[in-house]
């Protein structure tokens, strides 16, 4: 497993870098970014992986969130993967929309042709990328948190709980039909609400923190946090859902609240 | 003077917005962005204008710097203008390079055809934009600071001192020849080193803070902070020049050090 360094520079006393490698899960080259905090000079540090939303690459979070400042204070390594396989031969949305195909891997393993050939983001995030991170960077494998935004926030929930709910949004319905087929039973492993509802074995979570902007244009039709709230209640999961007036779906929302998510994880990942 | 609101949303408890207006200085439509901190609900606040570097628009600083967090803490309004006139009829670089023409206004008033028709960024920044800001936003006209990066850091120095040094860099030589003609005497008003050298009337500056990355690829040929250092010494100006190992020219450098620049200005702009 060799990785190619695309760029590296200093940032808040640590190092930010962009990397490329041949992915066996996705059967194509993949890129990711890593911020190594200055504390890593003295030993392994906990790792927080951020899963991005629709249309994003490995770059958006590192460029726009400002999270490196707090990560450098807390001694957290940050990892930001791309959101789908890419390159020649990777099938995109037949309608060329932004909400499916390239930039829209939904953190699942596709079973339907032609997507099954490359779209294995679930395996990529849960297995391959972890192996690469922990063999190439000074991260502590025993202390690894997961967070994200939009499609990536959902991905963090499904993967974090065991897998996670997209059944009730048009985005999710489109992607799951293409990637997994018409049988909605097969969708349940990748639906945060379904997973939360049946989660008897997730007592290791002392809490799940979800922030949501009240001025988010996708709130009523696509995001529907009330479904997650009901499912967590049913499954006995300790969800803290916070609604913030005036905030929309964009990166100013993320940059405003990311600090609290980093502190949330750092507290739980401390030695 | 009417301005059109392109977008507005919440950010760190304040509001970030993007606006467009017809510019009489540049004879075209111009766009700018403003962050209004939450303290503005209780009265006028000091303003810090950030001038961006080559290729940037009014968006880069607001999206990438993370400066809103500290501005919201300090009660500073942030203003980020575009870096050149744009639109139909605005002449670009004849060679289509990034270092002249669109996105490269160098914060001067062009005197040479065909650029003299639109490229009046000096008047735009020092007069027109200020009038718009102070008549449309709750900024205190008596407390207004100026900062920037790269071409914009130079612009902040020339405008801040009275005007500011590009004579000694290939970027500056190209732009000044096209915008101002071959007579290098005419360049001096827009050269930070020349202005600094002859500045007897700048005692109102108790200090000038300049940060520079030691791994910046433009350092030796284009940026040459040692010339500014010598000129400030000659002109009796209190320059604090800090060189930071490992940092390059990019936005990770800006996001790392912008907090100290905001605190520097807020301290000097306090009531």
Number of H helices, E strands in chain B: 9, 8
**CA torsion, points A130, A35, A67, B209, in degrees to nearest 10?**
180
- Give the gap in angstroms from C-alpha A149 to the nearest C-alpha of chain B: 16
pLDDT tens digits, one per residue of A77-129: 999 999 999 999 999 998 888 889 999 999 999 999 999 999 999 999 999 99
What's the pLDDT at B164?
A: 47
How many Å from the N-terminal Cα to the C-terminal Cα in chain A?
Answer: 29
- Residue B144 known to be catalytic: no
A244 contact B CB<8A: yes
Instruction: Determine the Cα–Cα distance for residues A204 and B6; give it in Å rounded to an integer.
Output: 45
Residues 57-76 of B with CB under 8 A from A: 63-66, 68-69
Residues 152-171 of A with CB under 8 A from B: none
Which residue has 């735009």 as its token pair? B124
Low-confidence ranges of chain B (pLDDT < 50): 163-166
The residues, ordered by sequence, that sit 6+ positions from A94 with a Cβ below 8 Å of its Cβ are none
Strands (E), A164-245: 208-213, 239-244
Q: Which residue of B has its CA nearest to A9?
A: B247
What's the pLDDT at A200?
A: 59
Helix (H), strand (E) at residue B22: strand B14-23
Helices (H), chain B: 60-64, 67-74, 121-123, 129-136, 151-161, 170-180, 192-197, 225-235, 251-269
- Pairing verdict, β B77-81 and B28-36: antiparallel
Which residue of A73, A247, A252, A263 to mutate against B (max B Cβ within 10 Å)?
A: A252
- Give the gap in angstroms from C-alpha B115 to the nearest C-alpha of chain A: 33
Peptide bond into A15 cis (omega under 30): no
ipTM value, please give it.
0.84
Give Cα separations from A132 to A38, A128, B166 (angstroms): 20, 6, 46
What's the pLDDT at A271?
A: 67
A12 contact B CB<8A: yes
Cβ <8 Å between B10 and A63? no
What's the pLDDT at B95?
A: 87
- pLDDT averaged over every residue in chain A: 90
Q: pLDDT of chain A along its 271 residues, tens only?
A: 799 999 999 999 999 999 999 999 999 999 999 999 999 999 999 999 999 999 999 999 999 999 999 999 999 999 999 999 999 999 999 888 888 999 999 999 999 999 999 999 999 999 999 999 999 999 999 898 899 999 999 888 888 775 443 456 777 788 888 888 888 888 888 888 887 877 655 555 678 899 999 999 998 888 889 998 998 888 888 899 999 999 999 999 999 999 999 999 899 888 6
B25 contact A CB<8A: no
Cβ <8 Å between A64 and B69? no
């Amino acid at each position: 497993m060799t990785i190619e360094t695309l760029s590296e520079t200093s940032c808040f006393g640590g190092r930010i870098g962009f990397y490329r490698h041949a992915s066996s899960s996705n059967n194509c080259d993949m890129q990711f970014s890593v911020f190594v905090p200055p504390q890593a000079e003295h030993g392994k540090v906990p790792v927080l992986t951020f899963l991005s939303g629709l249309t994003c690459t490995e770059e958006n979070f590192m460029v726009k969130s400002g999270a490196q400042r707090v990560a450098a204070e807390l001694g957290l390594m940050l990892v930001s993967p791309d959101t789908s396989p890419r390159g020649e031969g990777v099938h995109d949305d037949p309608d060329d929309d932004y909400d499916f195909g390239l930039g829209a891997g939904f953190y699942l393993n596709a079973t339907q042709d032609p997507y099954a050939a490359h779209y294995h983001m679930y395996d990529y995030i849960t297995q391959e990328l972890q192996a690469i991170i922990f063999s190439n960077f000074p991260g502590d494998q025993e202390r690894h948190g997961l967070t994200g935004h939009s499609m990536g926030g959902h991905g963090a929930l499904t993967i974090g709980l065991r897998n996670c709910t997209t059944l009730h949004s048009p985005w999710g319905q489109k992607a799951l039909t293409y990637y997994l087929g018409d049988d909605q039973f097969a969708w349940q492993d990748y639906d945060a609400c379904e997973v939360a509802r049946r989660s008897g074995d997730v007592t290791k979570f002392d809490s799940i923190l979800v922030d949501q902007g009240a001025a988010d244009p996708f709130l009523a039709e696509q995001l529907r946090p009330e479904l997650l709230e009901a499912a967590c209640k049913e499954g006995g999961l300790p969800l803290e859902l916070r609604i913030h007036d005036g905030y929309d779906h964009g990166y100013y929302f993320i940059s405003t609240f990311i600090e609290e998510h980093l502190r949330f994880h750092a507290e739980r990942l401390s030695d």
